[in-house]
Structure 1
Amino acid sequence: MSIRTSLKKVLPPISVTEQEALDAGDVWIESSIYQGKPDMQALRDIPQAKLSADEQAFLDGPVQELLGMIDDFELGNEKHIPQEIIDFLGKNRFFSMIIPKKFGGLEFSPYANSTIVATIAAKSGAIAVTVMVPNSLGPGELLMHYGTTAQQEYWLPRLSDGRDIPCFALTSPEAGSDAGAIPDAAIVTKGEYNGEEVLGLRVSWDKRYITLAPIATVLGLAFKVFDPDQLLGDKFEHGITCALLPKSHPGVELGNRHDPMGVRFYNGTTRGQDVFIPMDFVIGGQKNIGRGWQMLVSCLGAGRGISLPAMGVASAQTAFKGTVEYSFVREQFGLPIGRFEGIQEKMADI
């Protein structure tokens, strides 16, 4: 009996969520590895990243101005981000670093995105998260890749200039990393929208830990779609679907702010019960019903591979800088403790 056969009997089976993630593929060089065809030449051919003139100007201009506005100690005491900072972020298009210029965005490279988030994170984790989220998994990214032309032309300019602040609601009280287990559901039905009877979805959801939800004006929402009356065909369960709802839409609730371990970025809940939405609210339209998981997996890569590592590196560098500085201020036996071999070994580990 082979090792593989033996392990198959011991290991748990792949869940539906895991299988869908594997089927969706990946977004970078690892996709070729997962396919069993590693392309190492493609990795070697990638040029060294550098900032463009526009990206460097943004880093030297608006980013530095933002850092001058931030008092992280005061932010922690006040427990909220001042409105003037939120307005500054919107006005200077911090929320649209990934959105193409033709829609009013900055269209920065992943390297610039990473550098900007890391620079902000070194001053304030709360502000860095606020900038990071709209530029990773969120309505902007989903609209760019999967939205209809009408959806892109309406929403992307509004997200670019700060008229709308987005959030994306995936996590439920009982489903986090196992996103395929979300209980939030929609029934295909007909309802009234703008005075007309149209085909749509009646959605109920209960989400938590949604970054920017307390201040968002537009809500990206993930839920499962069911069609008991077979209005879309002979299929009953269609799977995870993503839609975009304005905060002003009847039945949408945003509130109950969380306190995520004392880091003062905006994070909270959103709920809705039997909220009717037209098919036009589905990202990409009716044809994208059931394609939500593929959409999410492909777009999650930006947050996991760019934004979160940038914040992690910035936090580590800031911690190291502060620790080193303190080690040369604190003295024992007439010497800075930074001169002690044991302390130096710990510094080297960091």
Structure 2
Amino acid sequence: MKVAIVGASGYAGGELVRLLYHHSSADVVCVTSRSLAGTPLDEVHPHLKGFTHLKFENPAPDTMDVDVAFLAVPHTAAMTIAGKLLSRGIRVVDMSADYRLPKDVFEKVYGVTHTDYFKAPYGIPELHRKECTNAKFIANPGCFPTGATLAAAPLARYAHTVIFDSKTGVSGAGDNPSATTHYPNVGDNVNPYKWTSHRHLAEMKQELAGLGSSAACYFTPHLVPVNRGILTTAHILLKEPMETKEAEKLYRDYYKDEFFVRYQKPILAAVRGSNFCDIMVESEGLRVVAISAIDNLVKGASGQAIQNMNIMCGFKETDGLDAAGMLP
């Protein structure tokens, strides 16, 4: 199966190439970048030297000869090309925000007009596998909503309020340097940002509602001095008290058939480089604390995108992804 990665110069694009190299049925044949056309891929992603001889291209969507395309592009960019790819029979996994939310919610949250809206499955496979199976297009979730939703899902219908507090690595900000990601501002520091207004909150609210929950939902992210990972603490305030043993059983049963969700102490280093989400819970009666750990570039982006591709194309769901994390 021939694969294109549209917008392959960033961290997510590099992770797609790295992971797909080990996929039994996927061959990356096209990596695109408007500004880097003609540049060897391994000049931008030096860790991939020896694994690929691809060069960046800048083809028009109607000339791409592939079976699947990953859109690793900024929001508003995907909507200009997604429909063109679909019309040519190319399956698409969109890693931008363009199709994760209803049109009116997207336009309110992102402050732009959606020019080519259609409804797409929201690709948290553990929650939406049925909708993603044989789909032509999947909206890959945001990194924060992935870790947060998986942390809260088993208890969502029992909650009246859910508060997410996430600590994220610097790679989540992308590969363009800024004052926010400048080392002296990040090192030995913890920086809360967008305390009440992060765009990913809309996805969290959407997913809780889809799980049959009427719970109020709040979210605050913090930037911490690590390269990769998101550690999310979900404070789940319950309608009725629940003991820890009951909550643990609920989580173990909920995820018992999910290869990529492990019930164990969440440690960022234990999931680094992997597609796993590690979760553990503890209760004090009316409040359950559920903590999850994911790699923001893998389960939070490229790994989950490949997991979605596997589901939509009928491949083994773990193909290209069944590797352990890197500890220490």
Query: Could you state the TM-score of these two structures normalised by the residue count of structure 2?
Result: 0.28
Q: Which has the higher strand share?
A: 2
Query: Could you state the TM-score of these two structures normalised by the residue count of structure 1?
Result: 0.27
